[in-house]
Structure 1
Amino acid sequence: MPEQPERPDLGLDLLRCKWRVDEATSPGTPAARLAGVHRENMEILAAIITAGRSWPGHRLVGERAAHTAALIAVEAPDLAFQDRVLPLLNESVRAGDADGKDLALLTDRNFVRHRRPQMFGTQYLPGQDGLTLYPCIAPGDLDWRRQALGLEPHAEYDARIRGGHTLLASPGPEPHSEVESGAS
């Protein structure tokens, strides 16, 4: 049984952010509403990070809430915010206080938003013939990098993505990635 987080109140705040995204993605909800929710969630995560001067990891907020924090960062509309929090999540993963899958997802989304090749193969672009993997750095080393963070081989991930798993699309020209169950 997992330990009780140090700050379950902050964990609940983060989980409420996910619930707000779920509500904003229901059919018939205007896209502007989702964009506003992403901005509000980013502000909540920023306040939590500023108060604690670190990433809200498993010990502080619990595993589910820490994963939600990563999803908030992935969908953050402010690229500079992603730039600031990515090293914090990296430190937390290295300390064993966050999931490597979350780091892979945020790293790739950040690299793609900077128009750089991704590292872990979590980001796809929609096309007329379905999804296309966004270019990767050193594709021959992709599975090695994925394994280092606890991700499944890319061929298995790719099969799941193309097999119809739910994808969350960011507004605008952002790539697609699997986020509901966590990138693996």
Structure 2
Amino acid sequence: MIEVASAANADRQVLRSPASEADGGPEDRGLALDLMRCMWRAREADASVPRTDAAADVVASMFEENTHVLRQIMKQYGWPGYKLVGERAAQAAWHIAHYCPDIGFQAEALQLLGEAVRAGDADPQHYALLADRLCAVRSQPQRFGTQYVPDGAGGLALYPVVEPRRLDDRRFAWGLEPHAEWDARVRGDAALVGFIGPRRP
């Protein structure tokens, strides 16, 4: 499966919120720092650890630790959104949820993330990416058209979409751009095509 968002590009795409750092900062800077540390550690490990089985075990263990951090925050606060931790740490929380190996936890995170998006406290694109990732892992058609697969000729093919004619209706309902615009950006920007974190077995 080819994912269509890198960490750097997801940072650029985070929507501004009335409760962002620009409006006085997050309510809990300690939680924000914990989440940022998790993401920094994950990026560094994935970029620098050799591709061996032993190294993969180390990275997997680190991702489990990161998931534990987010799980504890979610139990106490719900989804860590803009108001609680700020935009960058909210991005880090999504990063952890999106690439953790526990599908059940991802489903729980998706529900809380959706509630935060509807409250204007999280990025709709994060919701779409996580929702589609879960669909793909479960071998189900995706809902928002964020996932692509190799087309066999060196390009990309859109992973199957449920009710394709209603794709933009679903995207608009969550405040997302038309799929044609997203697709054009994906195909025109190689940096948008990449994995964050370990691939699923």
Whether the TM-score (by the shorter chain) exceeds 0.5 is: yes
Range with bigger deviation, 12-21 or 148-157: 148-157
C-alpha contact (below 8 Å) 2:101/2:200 kept by paired residues: no
Equivalent position of 1:177 in the other structure: none
CA distance in 1, matches of 2:72, 2:150: 34
Selected match of 2:199 from 168, 171, 175: 171
Q: Which aligned pairs between 1:3-152 and structure 2 lie closer than 5 A?
A: 3-27=24-48, 29-30=50-51, 32=56, 33-52=58-77, 54-129=78-153, 130-152=155-177
Q: Structure 1 runs of 4+ off > 4 angstroms?
A: none
Equivalent position of 1:180 in the other structure: none
CA distance in 2, matches of 1:157, 1:149: 14
TM-score, with structure 2 as normaliser: 0.78
Instruction: Choose between structure 1 and 2: higher helix proportion.
Output: 2
TM-score, with structure 1 as normaliser: 0.84
CA-atom RMSD in angstroms: 1.8
C-alpha contact (below 8 Å) 1:35/1:171 kept by paired residues: no
CA distance in 2, matches of 1:29, 1:151: 37
Among all aligned residue pairs of Structure 1 and Structure 2, give the percentage whose two residues are the same amino acid.
49
C-alpha contact (below 8 Å) 2:142/2:161 kept by paired residues: yes
Offset at residue 159 of structure 1 (A):
2.0
Offset at residue 131 of structure 1 (A):
2.2
1:140-165, CA deviations, whole angstroms, 9 ceiling, x for partnerless residues?
12122222222222122112222212
Unaligned residue ranges in structure 1 (runs of 5+): 174-184
1:92-118, CA deviations, whole angstroms, 9 ceiling, x for partnerless residues?
111111111111111111111121111
Equivalent position of 2:7 in the other structure: none
Higher relative contact order (CA closer than 8 Å, sequence separation 6+): 2
Aligned length: 172
Unaligned residue ranges in structure 2 (runs of 5+): 1-21
